[in-house]
Amino acid sequence: MVDVAKNLEVVRNKIYDAARKVGRDPDEITILGVTKGIDIERIVAGINAGLKVLGENRVQEAEQKIPQIGRDVEWHMIGYLQRNKVKKAVKLFDFIQSVDRIPLVEELKKRIHGGNMRCLIEVNTSGELQKHGVMPGDAADLLRAVLESEVLDVRGLMTVGPYPPEETRSREAFRMLRELRDRLENEFHIDLPILSMGMSEDFEWAILEGSTMVRIGRGIFGARNY
Ligand SMILES: *Cc1c(COP(=O)(O)O)cnc(C)c1O
């Protein structure tokens, strides 16, 4: 049996050390526990150890899991969102991190009734073609559509680092996200405080480059069931 509480403690210590290295306050970094492929028992162990934010990649898996775990924790959609899953997704999730194209914004506009859905814009910073996310040069147009939608409350940017992770390339990608965020804040006169970047194998580099939310699966919960 994996010791989820101990793993989480190790992650917290690494976050602390990485933040201190660059003079940042470790408390400004949120840990999102990625629960895809993880059984209920381990998820509950994570919540008992203090996780308050969880993320799932697939609407279908979230549909099974979220009702069992409940909504006392915050649930983030972090995977590619198909248009035909939007209706379910807006009911299940508190936050959508994977807004990556204008047609998705249009579908969200149709499906969100009353109130706002918090979201991030997912950016492809690695140039890997199989990766999701808007290309950096198209991010401003997408942000404009998000702001005009009036149903989305955009809080920042998200990216998945290069694979395999490697210090120079990974840090370049994370830096690109931060610099893009800074440019968009200036251009649109808005605050985009959240930079969701860094996973089990690259979160320390992401923190050195300004990450405010690390998304960690295996590093907390151990191996996935699939
Ligand atoms: C799976 C996944 C993660 C977590 O990956 P680990 O390597 O298990 O930490 C983070 N972000 C996204 C978008 C993912 O799909």
Q: Identify the pLDDT of residue 147.
A: 98
Residue 15 CB less than 6 A away from ligand 1: no
> Mean pLDDT of residues grouped by 10 in the chain (226 residues)?
95 98 98 97 98 98 96 97 98 98 98 94 94 96 97 98 97 98 98 98 98 98 94
In a domain, 73, yes or no: yes
Residue 90 lies in a domain: yes
Residue 79 Cβ inside 6 Å of ligand 1? The answer reads yes
The parent domain of residue 69 ranges over 4-221
The CATH number given to whatever domain includes residue 204 is 3.20.20.10
Nearest CA to ligand 1 atom 10: 215
* Ligand 1 atom 13 nearest Cα: 78
| pLDDT (0 to 100) of residue 159 | 98
Residue 226 has a pLDDT of: 83
Residues 6+ apart with CB under 8 A from 37: 217, 224, 225, 226
Within-domain flag for 114: yes
Query: Does residue 226 lie in a domain region?
Result: no
Residue 210 DSSP class:
T
Does 151 fall in a domain? yes
The answer, yes or no, to whether any atom of ligand 1 lies below 6 A from the CB of 34, is: yes
Distance 198 CA to ligand 1 centre (A): 9
Number of domains within the chain: 1
Q: Is residue 68 part of a domain?
A: yes
Nearest CA to ligand 1 atom 7: 200
Q: How far is the CA of 217 from the centre of ligand 1 (A)?
A: 6
The DSSP code sequence of 28-67 is G-EEEEE-TT--HHHHHHHHHTT--EEEES-HHHHHHHHH
pLDDT at 6: 98
Q: How far apart are CA 66 and CA 93, in angstroms?
A: 9
In a domain, 136, yes or no: yes
